[in-house]
Structure 1
Amino acid sequence: MADIEISVLNSLAEISPEVWDRCACPETADGGRPFDPFTTHRFLKALEDSGSVGTGTGWQPRYLVARDGEDVLGVLPLYAKGHSQGEYIFDHNWAHAWERAGGRYYPKLQAAVPFTPATGRRFLTAPGHESEGMAALVQGALEIATRNRLSSVHATFCTEEEAERGAAMGLLHRVTQQYHWVNDGYADFDAFLAALSSRKRKTIRRERRIAQEFGGEIVQLTGDAIQPEHWDAFWAFYQDTGSRKWGTPYLTRRFFDIAQDTLRDDILLVLALRDGRPVAGAMNLIGRDVLYGRYWGAVEHHDCLHFELCYYQAIDYALEHGLSRVEAGAQGEHKLARGYLPVEIHSLHWIADPGFSNAVADYLEAERKAVGEDIEVLTSYGPFRKVTEEPT
């Protein structure tokens, strides 16, 4: 550790895509997709170049790079946060408690992919340097926070393995939940339906039929099939959803222009066309083995179209391409009835004040138990048929 140097980058323009991605997605050396595209240089740079992060957004890049001489051992997508928006594992109550006690919670440091509730590696280490690389990045982040008298450091939607390593280093381990669809070796959508209870099976068939009768066609587009005009339509969808959910959309219009240039091979757009005009759509990101549902919107309301575009079309794509999982984003118990079951989500936290850290640790222990109980109960109420029930 004494020989490892930590540097802070204010922009990804200060490091080459090849060096960053050698840590972020070394699996792409075989020419395949990254496990997930969110920590790639191209995705994070799109957020930066589009103004979706940076000055005035509350997400100020402070990327860390761990070097041993000329060798880069690891990188960390780190941001100085002026609020807790766009994180999806929220700490608003911690911030309120800290400030009621007379402290200053913001700015804090956040190791995350902005606006992206998708699990993946956060401590991006070069192959063979997983342990020392993560330790150096954690130590670097904590030293920066301590030196600047920041309240806390957080790493959200990290992997379970990272959470276990971080806990062993003394970080606080938080467990929350999300809904994922898992491909249990289904041959097709009908095979998936056969695994459900009769009532849920009929409901999904009815929803799909209603959605397909909206008066147009549904198309799946990726790569060069995505054209610039599709983003004009999707921007209208995204603005509508964003204004209702967040007040102001997180991504700028420029992000989608950059996505057309650098990310379209990572993207699956599902569009509902009526008279050739997009009236609703869902945007997904494609990983090596997982499809990540991200955004949805519409300029016309049609019954069940949301379920079809966001959930059932995603399952169709996963089945057709042999993917093992669909992650449908944050929240939403309505996903349970559509075959998406609750799973644990992990994050790591460091609180500067020892007394407040102990209080948060007690809270996280109780929360972890409650989440485990919720997952057990929700899973038991899931749509899958019991072993004694015959498919129809």
Structure 2
Amino acid sequence: MFLTIFWKFLLLGCTSFGGPAAHIGYFRKEFVERLGWASETEYAQWVALSQIMPGPGSSQVGFALGYHRGGIVGAIAAFIGFTLPSVVLMCVFATLGSQFSEYSAFIGILGALKLMAVVVILDAIWGMGSSFCQSYRTRLIAILSMLFMLLWPLGLGSLLLIILAGVAGALWLGETQGKVFTGRMSAKVAYLALGLFSILFIVTALIHGSGWLALAAELFQAGSLVFGGGHVVLPLMSEQLADLVSTTNLLTGYAAAQAVPGPMFTLASYLGAVSAPDGQMLAWALLATLAIFLPGLLLMLVGQHFWQGLSHYSRLQGAVAAINAAVVGLLIATLLFPILPSSVGSVWQALIVVVAFVWLRWQKPAIWQLVAVFVLGGLVTALF
């Protein structure tokens, strides 16, 4: 089971460009639609939980998927598989610099993969919207959520949106039919995770100075306090790591994280690698990676346990229905800004997105086939 889950997530880790919203689309396409590892309802609630919890949202969803499929071993396999390609590439960036990013072939492929991310997000919006916005009330919640996120483009916007949607759903949809969350999170695992997180949070808050231990402590604190995903981690890191990492390295790592597949939190892998003494790059990079991801993953275990324990209450079912609709609105807002402006720059590119979206909905190709077509298209564009 470990190898199966690891392999599936490793393939996605090699091809998941486009940031957290796109990753949610990739996961849904592969594990809900194609493999049937989870239901649409379970998946939507993991996505909602990832918006409430601090930490890397898409990695938390993948972690929850892995746990659902294979317990804690499956969760670890999912995390390692999805994160490993990005960590390796960030270490390569740290070693060789970003000289190859000036090559036309690289620029062409990167532009094509940005277009592919738009297609995948559109597919996720279509599928999740069809499931969770069936009534006029849930459609209205999705529209209002989209407008809220576009008018409130701040780091805590997604957290505030989920809270507001939950309250509105409890009051407005509380008597409607809802689905009980059928997770199987062990109470023992959840309380162990909560205890470990609490101890590490207190201990790391007391560590100061320089060296690998101080770097790991600051990254753990950052991972415990970041709401809103990978892009929000930059301002917090710039404050937390001011005495440990130069602004140049921070911005270079941030740019590199956007150019590679997988989670943006592997910015920490780059910072660990460039901060390491000679001969210790890999150890520092892995420690930094674990430090920033661990708090969000532990909290996801805790959140799932309490979520499934409360989901039979009708008011909470209404809240869940509203949160699911709000997540659709959140995805639409993320697509409109910043993804579309930074990915689609011409009518021809918009046409490519439309054609690819129709192909994806009609033929339902595997993700690797979609990636292969876009990579080939990017190469052709760059060379000719």
Bin the TM-score by the shorter chain: under 0.3
Structure with the bigger percentage of helix: 2
Higher normalized contact order (CA 8 Å, seq sep 6+, divided by chain length): 2
Q: TM-score, normalised by structure 1?
A: 0.24
Larger CA Rg, structure 1 vs 2:
1
